[in-house]
A = this chain, B = another copy of it.
Amino acid sequence: MSPVESGGAAGAATVTDAADRVHAFDAAIALAPQGEGEWHGHTSAAYANMIGPFGGITAAQALHAVLRHPQRLGTPVAFTANFAAALADGPFVVLARPVRTNRSTQHWIVEMRQHDRTVLTATAVTALRRDTWGATDVAMPGVPPPHEVPPPARRGRVEWIHRYDMRFIVGGLPPAWDGAEGHNSRTQLWVRDHPARPLDFTSLTALADVFFPRIWRRRATMTPIGTVSMTIYFHADEAQLQATGAGYLLGQAQAQAFRSGYFDQTAQLWNEAGELLATTHQVVYYKE
């Protein structure tokens, strides 16, 4: 066993041990209040990406500041996070302020900073939701249940991937990085936190960023990428998240266009009962 492999195993063991007491996700999004609308947090080694942390955990940390705010009205309906710079490993500050509070909706501006420089901007809309007529326009695709879909034989090398249980149905990582261009970039997978954790708005936010880059799928080429902006629309209320519990979500993602260094992704997340919990979009920088 090489020193590197030994170190990796020890690191993984630490995360697992910690999960017995506090789930790695809860440890990662923990925020310490510093006064009106200001929190201190810290990047998490358990959710490290190639450069800086997994964007989904950063987005979850930013939304967490809104959820922790004593003046918050209702639950999230829309959340947009713009990734202004890769976070450095270490502490960060989150500022969340409600800029407009109406009878049933509230609008938020969020900034995350390191060393007095902005690393993330975000806006959120929270709302008191009511029972109304409802319908789904995009039904869950017919797929085999999670226990019939095996985990992938090989995984990416970044740490955060080990925090998720992913079972690809369509469009897993390319079998070879041979540049064989495909006809579309669709992926379908069952996914949940690993170890399993009851779903809430913060973990759903991170799960919305769980798809590997669509350009890798379409091109079978591992070009460097970085998410620039990500939006989530929450269709679920707290009762639906509670009913979903620690079950799997079916995630489906597809790009619409790749052009001049940026591609987009549109995605849906259903629970096992077939309820569409969230729809999400992002635009991603790619190098070449």
A138 interface residue per 8 A CB criterion: yes
Q: Which of B84, B138, B219 lies in contact with A100, CB distance below 8 A? A: B84
| Complex CA–CA separation, A284 to B219 (angstroms) | 35
Within residues 130 to 175 of chain A, which ones have a CB less than 8 A from any CB in chain B? 130-138
Shortest CB distance A200–B (Å): 17
| Complex CA–CA separation, A217 to B170 (angstroms) | 32
Shortest CB distance A15–B (Å): 31
Q: Which of B85, B256, B283, B286 lies in contact with A268, CB distance below 8 A? A: B256
Contact A102 B85 (CB under 8 A): yes
Contact B137 A117 (CB under 8 A): no
In the complex, the count of this chain's copies comes to 2
Within residues 242 to 287 of chain A, which ones have a CB less than 8 A from any CB in chain B? 254-262, 264, 266, 268, 276, 279, 281, 283, 285-287
A interface, over-half SS: strand
Shortest CB distance A180–B (Å): 13
Interface 9-residue window, one of A22-30, A34-42, A53-61, A121-129: A121-129
Nearest B residue to A281, CB-CB: B281
Interface 9-residue window, one of A1-9, A62-70, A202-210, A225-233: A225-233
In the complex with contacts A80-B123, A261-B127, A268-B256, A233-B135 CB distance below 8 A: no
Contact A233 B80 (CB under 8 A): no
Interface 9-residue window, one of A44-52, A105-113, A190-198: A105-113
Contact B228 A125 (CB under 8 A): yes
A184 interface residue per 8 A CB criterion: yes
Nearest B residue to A102, CB-CB: B85
In the complex with contacts A134-B259, A137-B218, A82-B111 CB distance below 8 A: no
Q: Which of B85, B122, B130, B262 lies in contact with A127, CB distance below 8 A? A: B262
Q: Which of B121, B127, B256, B285 lies in contact with A99, CB distance below 8 A? A: B121
Contact A261 B82 (CB under 8 A): no
Known: A80-B80, A109-B109, A134-B260. 18 other contacts (CB 8 A): A82-B107, A100-B117, A107-B121, A125-B229, A132-B258, A132-B260, A133-B258, A134-B257, A134-B258, A136-B257, A137-B257, A231-B281, A233-B281, A235-B264, A256-B268, A256-B279, A257-B279, A266-B266
List A residues at the B interface (Cβ < 8 Å): 77-78, 80, 82, 84-85, 99-100, 102, 105, 107, 109, 111, 117-119, 121-123, 125, 127, 129-138, 181, 184-185, 214, 218-219, 228-229, 231, 233, 235, 237, 254-262, 264, 266, 268, 276, 279, 281, 283, 285-288
Q: Which 8 A-B pairs have the closest CB atoms?
A: A78-B229, A129-B260, A84-B100, A84-B107, A134-B259, A80-B80, A99-B118, A138-B256
